[in-house]
Amino acid sequence: MKALRFYCLLTLTIFSTASAQNADIRLLRDINLNRNTQLDGFFKGVTNTTVLVAFSVPVIVMGVGLIKNDVPTQRKAVVIGAGLVASSGITYVMKRAINRPRPFVTYPGIQKLTDGGSPSFPSGHTSLAFATATSLSLENPKWYVIVPSYAWAGAVGYSRLHLGVHYPSDVLAGAVTGAGSSFVTYKVNRWLQGRKK
């Protein structure tokens, strides 16, 4: 718990300096206020895919593993699911510990185009998307898995800025949290499998 508290404080310190905050809000304003409004519906759709895709992936992989009676595939599903759980848990704790207001609360000029109720830092949608993309890419290191996975995760992160519900630093922290959680989960599983052998 001390390590997590230190990580939260360090992250907040990095992103809370005045110049960083000014750059953060300037970039968000550039993206949100100068957006192509014809893409609003598209980016709302991208944002809305996050939870469905993230939690469908381990279920589908597990289903394939059960149908084929393929234990390694079933194990992949468990590792992907564990990465999502770890990412969600860390994101939840960081949100509550840092308790950063959403940008549209602090800066009323930001146009909020979708829901955003919990604290802002880090972005939960981005964390889930990058956890999913990283898990899939580590378990299936093929270009046709990696490229679409990270393209989708990047689009989710960008959508949170386009829709005015997160700062760029929220999205960056969400990407690092999600990818890091899945990477650590993957490595821990490999280590555990090595010990069993």
Q: Domains along the chain?
A: 38-196 (1.10.606.20)
CA distance 162 to 61: 31
* pLDDT tens, N- to C-terminus, the chain (197 residues): 555 665 555 565 655 555 667 888 999 999 999 999 999 999 999 999 999 999 999 999 999 999 999 999 999 999 999 999 999 999 999 999 999 999 998 888 999 988 877 899 999 999 999 999 999 999 999 999 999 999 999 999 999 999 999 999 999 999 999 999 999 999 998 888 777 76
Give helix 2-15 / helix 18-33 axis angle, nearest 10°: 70
CA distance 68 to 34: 50
Global confidence as pTM: 0.86
CA distance 33 to 116: 17
Q: Does residue 122 have a cis bond before it (omega within 30 degrees)?
A: yes
**1-to-5, 6, 49, 193, 194 alpha-carbon distances in Å:** 6, 9, 32, 26, 27
